[in-house]
Amino acid sequence: MSHVSEIRVGLATCGIAAGAEPVYSAFEKELAASNASVKLKRVGCIGMCYNEPLVDVVYQDGKLSTYGHVRVEDVTRIVEKHAVGGQPIQDLLVATDGFFDKQVRIVLENCGLIDPESLDEYRAHAGYEALRIALTEMTPQQVIEKVTASGLRGRGGAGFPTGVKWGFAAREPGPEKYFICNGDEGDPGAFMDRSVLEGDPHRVLEGIAIGAYAIGAPHGYFYVRAEYPLAIKRLEKALADATTAGFIGENILGSDFSFEVKIKAGAGAFVCGEETALIASIEGRRGTPRRRPPYPAVSGLWEKPTNINNVETLANVPWIIRHKTEEFTRYGTEKSKGTKVFALAGKVNHSGLVEVPMGMPIKDIVFDIGGGIRDGKGFKAVQIGGPSGGCIPSSLADVPVDYESITETGAIMGSGGLIVLDEKTCMVDLARFFLDFIQKESCGKCTFCRIGTKRMLEILTRICDGEGTGDDLERLLELSEKVKTYSLCGLGQTAPNPVLTTAKYFREEYDAHIVDKTCPAHVCKALIHYEIGPERCKDCKLCTRDCPVQAISQGEGVFQVIDQKICIKCGRCYEVCPFGAIDVQ
């Protein structure tokens, strides 16, 4: 085996949250003390977020060993035995085969590989080569034609053909046009755009520059939610370095094309992910959608022709320009080409950032890449597309991940959040959770979204509280259809999806809540209670000591009892009992 050449430490938000920064500092000290000729490098998300902090030890021939859950106290061993001695430490290594085997990394090809704050490293991996090709070898129309031929569709949720969208803006007259990158990723459980911006910001910057050249836009904006400070910091560094190097600014690469870019930090309003609300926010107005037409391609930012794509869409563009069209189209299905990045989260063993070919069955993502359901529980469903998406049951696990197939289930692809649900998930409570989120995030401009979602939430809350009546479900479904039909923007139009899909595939759970006044998953507090089985209780009093409201006391025998009038149903007793003596009913 060749000598170790570098050590990479994953320092995206996921790694930092798990304690990667002190690990990186420890490597700095140990490598300096050892005088080893090994390069230490910060990289973005490596993908296996479930194993953070992650460290890759890389050999001169490109092969690597991956360490997971690395602690500061492990660093000395890794440096002495592996970086210097050439002997991997087996008890710290993590297996990577199952996680990466079925992935195809186009958008994520540099994430976890390069230093996101180094322009030189990006250029060493073909960075800005696509921009050079576009500006010196292609006309704007040829760029649009190649993106159109690739079949790339918008990865922000709607799935509209990217090249066609660019063509609309390109045909509009006038020298003043805008190109916006939408990084306002607001879905609960989603972190795709954040991870790409943190791990490979130059890639997205190159993509927006190529798109701006294609439509003839001299001005660009990155709209990134303010809750992503690390993504904004690295994007600012990339923009400054690219401007200094001549990849952004006046007469780029000696061409007639000039392009200036600004970064706008969004204030965290979910509705600003909708393009007309986003435009209003950049203009300094309240982020509320407007009726279309006119579409942004005709009248957008400052009433000028404007094109908007999300982070993942633009990250595909440099790869497409650098390669033959068929290299991209060989991945995916007839109508959904390329790959899709997902934030794989929830009740799955291997949560993280993944990129798979379009058309891969849901079950392959959950079990082959995700490693199956945590704690051996049963697979129940996936929630795809965030609050605007829907639930797909395990019975449809063979459904391929592409725009048409997902839409046929009643869900939508969305931007790429994929939350795995196990048998302990209450689907009624899940629908209530997403409606609560949507209702709070509604801008309030249109009646059906403002009041309709409020009434839907009230019904769902009533059902979860055991106060549902016989006609509640029908009223809920009727409201869902009206909100979906008459809301002004995509937020309201898709808000009922979690309700419609859970009612479609899990009707029996709604009936149990309404008719039987029970929660089959034992989640809804108003419909469950905890009891101690006297024959199993060992009188250890762990539950008594841990009860936050002192609802547990000594019974008449050698066992504990729960006072149901005091119990707040927090489940703490169930969690701490080592003998399985607590029953949830």
CATH code for the domain of 457: 1.20.1440.230
Q: What is the pLDDT of residue 2?
A: 65
Please say which residue of 374, 405, 422 terminates a domain.
422
Within a domain: residue 577?
yes
pLDDT in tens, 519-551: 999 999 999 989 888 888 988 989 999 999 999
Same-domain status, 375 and 231 = no
Same-domain status, 382 and 399 = yes
pLDDT in tens, 478-489: 999 999 999 988
Looking at mean pLDDT, say which of 84-88, 379-383, 469-473, 573-577 comes out highest: 379-383
Paired with 41 in beta bridges are: 8
- How many angstroms separate the CA atoms of 334 and 567, rounded? 56
Within a domain: residue 105?
no
What 3-state DSSP class applies to 322? helix
For residue 538, the domain's CATH number is 3.30.70.20
φ, ψ dihedrals at 526, nearest 5°:
-70, -15
Same-domain status, 436 and 409 = no
Q: How many domains are contained in the chain?
A: 5
- Closest to 202 in 3D by CA, of 125, 298, 95: 125
Within a domain: residue 333?
no
In the chain, % of residues over pLDDT 70: 100
Same-domain status, 502 and 395 = no
Paired with 562 in beta bridges are: 552
Please say which residue of 260, 295, 327 terminates a domain.
327
Same-domain status, 50 and 29 = yes
Same-domain status, 173 and 305 = yes
Among the residue ranges 200-204, 423-427, 502-506, 553-557, the one predicted with the least confidence is 553-557
In the chain, % of residues over pLDDT 90: 83
Burial (CB count <10 Å: 0-12, 13-18, 19+), residue 283: exposed
Same-domain status, 204 and 305 = yes
Same-domain status, 70 and 128 = no
Residue with tokens 């309240």: 286
Same-domain status, 354 and 285 = no
Same-domain status, 53 and 135 = no
Same-domain status, 152 and 251 = yes
Within a domain: residue 112?
no
pLDDT in tens, 328-377: 999 999 999 999 999 999 999 999 999 999 999 999 999 999 999 999 99
For residue 371, the domain's CATH number is 3.10.20.600
Please say which residue of 60, 95, 130 terminates a domain.
95
Within a domain: residue 108?
no
- How many angstroms separate the CA atoms of 203 and 315, rounded? 6
- Supply the range of the domain harboring residue 26: 4-95
| Mean pLDDT calculated for residue range 259-265 | 97
Same-domain status, 130 and 81 = no
Within a domain: residue 334?
no
Within a domain: residue 293?
yes
Q: What is the pLDDT of residue 229?
A: 96
φ, ψ dihedrals at 511, nearest 5°:
-60, -40
For the cut 90, the answer to whether the pLDDT of residue 156 exceeds it is no
Within a domain: residue 481?
yes
